[in-house]
Amino acid sequence: MRKLLACVITAIAAIAFRPVSGIAAPQKVACSLLTTAQVTAALGGPVSAGKPMTKEACQWSQPGKGDDLLKTDVTLMTIERFNRFKTATNATVTAVSGLGDDAYYWTRPADAMRITLCVRKGESAVFINVYGGKKPLAEYQSKEKAMAEALLSAL
């Protein structure tokens, strides 16, 4: 009877814990997507180590004080949220080619100096936002794109 019970328990465990297609891969941690060196290169100046805001969001900052210092946030998002932002009617969405499977810049008219690069690769999506200082919009876009290119292999 014990052998039968052991076989039944083993069979149930094998079924319950077998790999099943469609189950999500382990969640990534935002701070593991980029190194401090990669963010330093993208922003064009030294940054502190990534500071987790949540498991899905990480922030890097240039050290010191002043209005010209940059910060960047990298946030992991669901594909649903990526798609929802892409079709937002309260923002300007501009397609970006050559990044992942899909990418766009997202800008709200009320906050025209703050732009977010949204990138999807497979079943992963990330939002990258560089802010601080008073730089031309194209410079923020360039820095976000450099960060996206650096993190794509980690997505």
Q: Which residue has the higher pLDDT, 25 or 97?
A: 97
Question: What's the pLDDT at 7?
Answer: 35
| Neighbouring residues of 85: CB distance < 8 A, sequence distance ≥ 6 | 77, 91, 93, 106, 118, 127
Q: Which CATH number fits domain 26-154: 3.40.600, 1.20.120, 3.40.1000, 1.10.287?
A: 3.40.1000
Mean pLDDT of 104-119: 84
Question: What is the three-class DSSP state of 36?
Answer: helix
- The stretch 107-134 carries a mean pLDDT of 87
Question: How many Cβ atoms sit within 10 Å of the Cβ of residue 93?
Answer: 14
| Tens-digit pLDDT profile for residues 19-76 | 333 344 447 899 999 999 999 999 999 999 999 999 999 999 998 877 778 999 999 9
Percent of the chain with pLDDT strictly greater than 70: 81
Taking alpha carbons only, the member of 54, 52, 55 closest to residue 28 is 55
Percent of the chain whose predicted confidence (pLDDT) is above 90: 62
